[in-house]
Amino acid sequence: MKAASPIDVRVQAEDFDISAEIRKLAGERTDIGAVVTFTGRCRDEEGRLAALELEHYPDMAETEIARIAREALRRWNLAGLTVIHRFGRILPGQNIVLVVAASTHRKAALEAADFLMDYLKSRAPFWKKEHLTSGEPGQWVNAKTEDEEALAQWRKE
Amino acid sequence: MKLVYFAWVRERVGHETETVSLPGEVVTVSDLLDWLKARGEGYAAAFAHPEIIRVAIDRKHVAHDMELPPDGEVALFPPMTGG
């Protein structure tokens, strides 16, 4: 990996392999002391949910995630950052999103991963629609006010 | 101007994309939302609460007081629920 471009953003239908992504990001590098991963998965909501359908705005999804990733890189001293966001039909137990953050010391990677997820939820152009096990028509997931409020803490800094 | 819709905005409007010619008095994003709301039943349902609609111009988030460009792609969608 070139030091000049430590950001890897992918928007894809396919699943991802967390171990492979850690290897790809940190690999043989001996300067990286911390790798943090966050994996967001589809829940079944106590059996109510059959699947989630993730709609996205192609191009803008990549552009917006890359913008958020660059902001994280500006705020924390990171060795690398990988963000993978899936779209399409996702079943309970399957992966939706992966953030991998690498840094010399753990705090930067932990905070950057948290920041990335807060911003992804409210700024990356994805929308979740629920498909129900009952067969009844599912609803679009409503944005939570907590998600918007979560951004406020990062603005103070 | 090209308009693109996502999620329940797309479902209510009834199509994913369309090209429109805007009247001269439609200057800002907010004007566009009001104009769209008056275009028929589906539009009225989609834009009943224009304040909650998020807008991107040429794939960048913009505020409702932003002036519309002479041409380009304006996307209208509900608050995002990714991650």
Report pLDDT for A148.
82
The yes-or-no verdict on residue A36 having pLDDT over 80 is: yes
User: CA Rg, chain A, in Å?
Assistant: 16
Q: Which residue has the tokens 């104009």?
A: B35
Return the percentage of chain A with pLDDT > 90, whole number.
82
pLDDT band of B20, cuts 50, 70, 90: very high
Nearest CA-CA partner of B79 in B2, B9, B4: B9
d(CA A98, CA A113): 10
Q: Which of A12, A87, A121, A127 would you mutate first to test chain B, the one with the most B CBs within 10 A?
A: A127
Size of interface A-B (CB pairs under 8 A): 72
Element (H, E) at A110: helix A106-123
Nearest CB among B75, B78, B80 relative to A123 is that of B80
Report pLDDT for A155.
86
Report pLDDT for A2.
42
Report pLDDT for A133.
96
**B7 to chain A: which residues are within 8 Å by CB?**
55, 127, 129, 140
CA A120 to chain centre: 6
Establish if A60 touches chain B: CB-CB under 8 angstroms. Answer: yes
The yes-or-no verdict on residue A1 having pLDDT over 50 is: no
* pLDDT tens per residue across span B2-18: 999 999 999 999 999 99
Here the tokens at position B20 are 């429109």
B-chain residue closest to A56, CA distance: B6
d(CA A116, CA A90): 21
What is the average pLDDT across B13-42?
97
Q: Return the CATH number of B2-77, one of 3.40.50.1820, 3.40.50.300, 3.40.630.10, 3.10.20.30.
A: 3.10.20.30
Establish if B6 touches chain A: CB-CB under 8 angstroms. Answer: yes
What is the average pLDDT across B20-42?
97
pLDDT band of B27, cuts 50, 70, 90: very high
| pLDDT, mean over chain A | 94
Structural domain boundaries of chain B?
2-77
pLDDT band of A157, cuts 50, 70, 90: low
DSSP A40-68: EE---TTTTEEEEEEEE-TTHHHHHHHHH
d(CA A54, CA A56): 7
A30 to chain B, closest Cα gap in Å: 31
What is the average pLDDT across A100-106?
97
What is the average pLDDT across A108-114?
97
d(CA A97, CA A83): 7
Going from the N-terminus, what domains does chain A have, and what CATH number goes with each?
7-156 (3.90.1170.40)
Q: Which residue has the tokens 């790809």?
A: A24
CB B53 within 8 A of CB B78: yes
